[in-house]
Structure 1
């Protein structure tokens, strides 16, 4: 269902139904429609006042681009939803990106208006050749108020008029999204309205964003998972509750007080939910469904949530922002993904030939929601092949119709002629107990961008109460005879930031010796997958979103900063 069509229908039938809810702010559907008229008029006047506006990327078909770079999840959601019913292309830029990356995407893609409270960004753009406009949230709100009151704005803008939102044409560009932005130049791509409607059709069929359901989607709206949760809730007539971050001390009260029954969140938040529910289970009893992005959810998270909230269902889905939803895992160890029936999936070799069942190769997807390609100038990567199938470089295997991910291209090591999935090595240590040896191996996965390591658990204890090894990253190190060898790097939690983010990570004294680690690996893995070396680091390198960076981990070990066991 188109987002604007749904918003207009609910606003007419149930104007007082909540649409977007923050910690201290909320908009009903009726208010969202009224708010959108003043919002678009204000933004449109900012674009119109430019004497030499930036040229938007050709993929936008001439529609001006408005970017939101705010820390407020509520305001970002309000702006994106408000502009959806008008001729506008919206983008969300993570204010935590490196400044040069923010400036780069703004100037390269021809963004015309940036809503940001960052003085540094405003100054950097002012010193560049960019000819667009930066406006703070307060300035935008003031301009909206002037428009709503029918007052004149600045002389340069003149008098503004408002028009109601309308259902837009299928082919019209809708959102500009980005696939990265932390350690590499962000790759931009466009989603048309048809592609987002196709994506909503898939998620509606499998992830249950039903009409009237209250969904909590905590985290920055610059994350594609959070942004999509906002869109899908409004597109299906639900209420989306947002938060700048997940605070377990206050979120439990919101879940209970606002009758939230569905959560869409990254795996780290699901882990925090389980811990918070363990302390105050009565606040979480109403939760029916938790949906998390990233395949191969660590077994410790799945078991912890199931132990404390046995009536709450958990779905871990797999998808790519460029492509859309692909499939999900709902039980067992979570490593095998059921591909949705409207999605095509193939594993191919480097020459594009389809591989037989069980062999690791590059995953190619056929999906109606897939973007056409990347925005000119932001990357030379190709998203779609000549046959229309798309790949973001994920590696995997297919057996008996089920998909198992092996990471991205940088997550595959070639050792002695064998392909080794580094995330698979990490998964084996998810079940390693610091007290004795755990049984079956668990699950992990990167669930993020290329080169990110997975998490082996919560760094403390899983459902059985035994302390776990903590965060690990499997890497490939160069070797003269084998080409490369597999090594495992263990975070020991004594770095300057570890106390705040890695509670429960073992210290050096609590670590097992190399013999115990090897014995566990040999019991869980094929011989070529067994790490030949083990290292510790005080702190594994991470993205701003908390994902471990594999390539940077290799650099730290190669430069001698790790301790070899």
Structure 2
């Protein structure tokens, strides 16, 4: 059912049940419904901006949200899920110039931000857009005291404008229609074994899809959603103590998997990067009662595949990203033709979860459609059991001594080696080979052992020529390894990268 109906139902049946908690700021379902209804009234009263790139229903408004995990997100993000209005989800860490460009391309009818985001406030003022500071009294004043009956929403209506950097430095804008997340919620409820008891802790930024979708899943169920304004391990542990489920990218999951065992956690969902074997082992030990659902997907595609890890076994080979989600079909292609099992190819997906295209910024991007099939340009191969392995991305292929190399294949082999807790493989310009493979490793395994173990599993031309150690990987705002930063460090001989020496 639409999330509007789900929230209304939970507000009637369990008005005092906790809906959302953000760093101690708590809303029950009755309070959440009331605030959404008041926000709907306030937004509908705003004059609508003229826009060429986005169509909304007559009573719908577009509002931008740039305040990250501020407690106001507990009202502003569910409102887009349950009313005719749509939210443009801006990353608060973008520079002012990027915020200005985005607002100029897609003027919202209001922007909700923090009072210290002065560049954003100035940009809104120049466009004649009201800027409401959610960390002041202005937000409560804007909400007012007039809750209205929530109107019906159409499945084809847009509710979210998201942004993804993809393979370029400039964010690309895409719009999501309500029916795509409706189908996703139906699929993930079964795939992740969710119930109304699946109280969820998602410590990541709400400006990124993994945490925002977890909020939608949880509210749809009538469970409680927990997050924190910024990551702090003691605060994260307090929030996690109230949860039965965790949703986090692997880097944050690794941070949580320390200290005493957390037996109250029974389900974990992770995405955004491949789960390495060392972290899987740690997670199994730290969350002894939990099943761990590792899924592969993209903002543009939705869910693609899933691998569920139990205490002793996995639903697919641990090095893979699992089997296709229900109602999702896969086709791996080269030059428009489907390739044989075991042969690398571009991953195409057919289902009802993908976007139609970008609002802007899609030229030369990985995302494209071929009839009913869609891709973001990831390269993979189908294994003998039908599971999918990710090898890299179009444009990310390295060529060394005439051989085509996909870094993720080597990274997977490296993280299978005991003692290695993280691995990134980059290409560095080489006079005769074109590019040489450089492995950047986190861990304490001796170099001689690394080389000998890799030689068992990889042909000689796929073996890195140089090995560098790192104490801690730089991360993006979404918690992924910042490969661009590593590439810069490699070119500059940054002291954070320390050459590994052979014992001999």
1:177 aligns with 2:123: no
Shift of residue 162, structure 1, vs aligned partner: 4.4
Per-residue displacement from partner, 1:281-307 (whole Å, max 9, x unpaired)?
3xx222111111135311111111212
| 1:200 corresponds to | 185
| 2:102 corresponds to | 105
Q: 1:560 to 1:247 in 2, by over 3 A?
A: closer
Q: 1:474 to 1:383 in 2, by over 3 A?
A: closer
Aligned equivalent of 1:74, options 71, 74, 83: 71
Judge conservation of contact 2:366–2:394 (CA < 8 Å) in 1: no
Judge conservation of contact 2:422–2:441 (CA < 8 Å) in 1: yes
| 2:383 corresponds to | 399
| 2:438 corresponds to | 487
1:267 aligns with 2:250: yes
* In structure 2, C-alpha distance between the alignment counterparts of 1:325 and 1:200, rounded to whole Å: 10
Judge conservation of contact 2:267–2:291 (CA < 8 Å) in 1: yes
1:544 aligns with 2:495: no
| 1:58 corresponds to | 54
Deviates more, 1:34-43 or 1:61-70: 61-70
Q: 1:379 to 1:234 in 2, by over 3 A?
A: farther
Aligned equivalent of 1:93, options 90, 93, 98: 90
Per-residue displacement from partner, 1:64-93 (whole Å, max 9, x unpaired)?
321111133532132111243322111221
Judge conservation of contact 2:57–2:84 (CA < 8 Å) in 1: no
Q: Secondary structure at the match of 2:359?
A: coil
Per-residue displacement from partner, 1:513-550 (whole Å, max 9, x unpaired)?
5x454323213423221101223567755423343333
Shift of residue 126, structure 1, vs aligned partner: 5.3
Q: 1:406 to 1:59 in 2, by over 3 A?
A: farther
1:298 aligns with 2:276: yes
Shift of residue 193, structure 1, vs aligned partner: 0.8
Judge conservation of contact 2:437–2:463 (CA < 8 Å) in 1: yes
| 2:260 corresponds to | 280
Q: 1:564 to 1:209 in 2, by over 3 A?
A: same
Per-residue displacement from partner, 1:370-427 (whole Å, max 9, x unpaired)?
1111013565537342412111111110123211011222442223343322122122
Aligned equivalent of 1:369, options 332, 344, 353: 353
* In structure 2, C-alpha distance between the alignment counterparts of 1:421 and 1:196, rounded to whole Å: 32
| 2:464 corresponds to | 531
* In structure 1, C-alpha distance between the alignment counterparts of 2:17 and 2:454, rounded to whole Å: 54
Q: Secondary structure at the match of 2:373?
A: coil
Q: Secondary structure at the match of 2:399?
A: strand
Per-residue displacement from partner, 1:474-502 (whole Å, max 9, x unpaired)?
111234544322121346xxxxxxxxxxx
Aligned equivalent of 1:119, options 92, 105, 117: 117
Residues 136-535 of structure 1 correspond to what in structure 2 (within 5 A)? 136-137=133-134, 138-144=136-142, 147-148=144-145, 162-180=147-165, 184-256=169-241, 258=242, 260-275=243-258, 279-281=259-261, 284-294=262-272, 296-331=274-309, 332=314, 334-336=318-320, 337-349=322-334, 351-376=335-360, 379=363, 381=365, 383-400=367-384, 401-432=386-417, 438=418, 468-490=419-441, 512-513=446-447, 515-535=448-468
Judge conservation of contact 1:176–1:189 (CA < 8 Å) in 2: yes
Shift of residue 226, structure 1, vs aligned partner: 0.3
Residues 23-62 of structure 1 correspond to what in structure 2 (within 5 A)? 23-45=23-45, 47-48=46-47, 53=49, 55=51, 57-58=53-54, 60=56
Shift of residue 113, structure 1, vs aligned partner: 1.6
Q: Secondary structure at the match of 2:112?
A: strand
Judge conservation of contact 1:296–1:334 (CA < 8 Å) in 2: no
* In structure 2, C-alpha distance between the alignment counterparts of 1:534 and 1:363, rounded to whole Å: 30
Judge conservation of contact 1:335–1:405 (CA < 8 Å) in 2: no
Judge conservation of contact 1:411–1:423 (CA < 8 Å) in 2: no
| 1:456 corresponds to | none
* In structure 1, C-alpha distance between the alignment counterparts of 2:151 and 2:17, rounded to whole Å: 20
TM-score, normalised by the number of residues in structure 1: 0.79
* In structure 2, C-alpha distance between the alignment counterparts of 1:409 and 1:386, rounded to whole Å: 16
Q: 1:181 to 1:411 in 2, by over 3 A?
A: closer
Where structure 1 has 5 or more consecutive residues not aligned to the other structure, the ranges are 149-160, 433-437, 439-467, 492-504
